[in-house]
């Protein structure tokens, strides 16, 4: 997995992800998000180059989206998995 943050001209921090996302990459992604949060800017995760994502990472993304993070260019299959995780979390309440 590759994590590449970028400060956009409008002040948004975009974190680009590529490759296969698994539980082993969550720590790298979390560090990138924490660095972006210290800038007090809007944060977007671009998933356009993600090929595969495992369930723990899907759960992690669903959790951080509840905070201050938005997704962009989310592949359809990843979006379906995220919706499934949100619904599962809602049913647990």
Q: State the CB neighbour count (10 A cutoff) for residue 17.
A: 25
pLDDT band at 10 (very low <50, low <70, confident <90, very high): very high
In this prediction the pTM is 0.85
Give the model's pLDDT for residue 51.
87
- Report the distance separating Cα 19 and Cα 10, nearest Å: 27
Residue 92 has pLDDT above 90, yes or no: no
DSSP code of residue 25: G
Q: Could you state, in order of their start, the residue ranges of all structural domains in the chain?
A: 2-92
Of 54, 44, 45, 53, the C-alpha closest to 19 is: 53
Percentage with pLDDT > 70 across the chain: 97
Cα separation, 87 vs 79, whole angstroms: 12
The correct answer on CATH 3.40.50.1110 for the domain covering 2-92 is no
Which pLDDT band holds residue 34 (cuts at 50, 70, 90)?
very high
């Amino acid at each position: 997995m590759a994590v590449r943050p970028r400060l956009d001209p409008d002040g948004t921090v975009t974190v680009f992800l590529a490759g296969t996302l698994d539980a082993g990459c969550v720590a790298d992604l979390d560090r990138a998000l924490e660095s972006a949060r210290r800038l007090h800017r809007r944060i977007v995760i671009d998933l356009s180059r993600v090929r595969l994502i495992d369930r723990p990472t899907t759960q992690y993304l669903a959790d951080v989206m509840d905070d201050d993070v938005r997704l962009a260019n989310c592949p359809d299959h990843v979006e379906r998995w995220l919706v499934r995780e949100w619904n599962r979390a809602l049913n647990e309440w």
